[in-house]
Amino acid sequence: MSTRHRSLTVIAGAALALGLLSACAPEPAPTPTTTPTQSTEPSASPADSPSESPSSSPTSTASIPTECTDLGSEASRQEMVGDMTLQSDGQGFVRPAPEGSTLVLGCDWIVGDATGLLVLISTAAPDAVTAAVATLPEEGYTCQVSDDFGAQFCELPGSGPDTEEFVVARDDVWIYYAPVNRNGRAFLSDIASQIFG
């Protein structure tokens, strides 16, 4: 399946997949030693094996918002997702990410059948971020250093200008950004400027 098709499928099916996962209650264990945070049952959902680990991650020095409603500027956020519904916190999506990364903020907005935006902001060791950026051209991304905020800016073209996927990475921060059927470049620029200064 192509990356473009997978992006549309994931956004459109995210709410259904999360509903199915939340309906599966774990069976009682004889000695409760851990608290499960995600289903370990096999699933046909594309969210069955997240690429990001919730384990150790360095403390980021960047200014990462803690709420989806605080991303970017009010004007660009309203223009991009003002008519959309926030469907999930982005947990479980399989997207390019550095090894050992931790998802700090995930936002999955949807409106209608095939319009939405997925934002996943993660932190990882800086060398892991650098190594992950180096693998993106193999997946079809074109990368360059952005003059605006001094980060690696990588773009994966979609079927049109409004179905692209982007990765913005600098130091220990990794931003995955995928608009579907809406031009989201202004909002991404605001988010990157907000985080990297």
Across-strand partners of 106?
A: 120
Amino acid symbol at 110: I
Q: In whole angstroms, what is the distance from residue 104 CA to residue 65 CA?
A: 9
pLDDT attached to residue 61: 54
Question: DSSP states of 161-180 as a string?
Answer: TTS-EEEEEETTEEEEEEEE
pLDDT attached to residue 32: 37
What is the pLDDT tens value at each position of the chain, 197 positions in all?
Answer: 433 333 333 333 333 233 323 333 334 343 333 333 333 333 333 333 334 433 344 444 568 999 999 999 999 999 999 999 999 999 989 999 999 999 999 999 999 988 999 999 999 999 999 999 999 999 999 999 988 778 999 999 987 767 899 999 999 999 999 999 999 899 999 999 999 98
DSSP H or E segment with residue 141? none
- Whole-angstrom CA distances from 116 to 73, 168, 178 are 18, 19, 8
pLDDT attached to residue 150: 87
pLDDT attached to residue 158: 86
CB 126 within 8 A of CB 172: yes
pTM, 2 dp: 0.69
Torsion angles phi and psi, residue 32, rounded to 5: -70, 100
Amino acid symbol at 84: M
Helix, strand, coil percent values for the chain (each to nearest 5): 30, 25, 50
pLDDT attached to residue 29: 40
Q: What is the DSSP letter of 85?
A: E
- Give the relative orientation of helices 74-81 and 185-196 as an angle to the nearest 10 degrees: 140
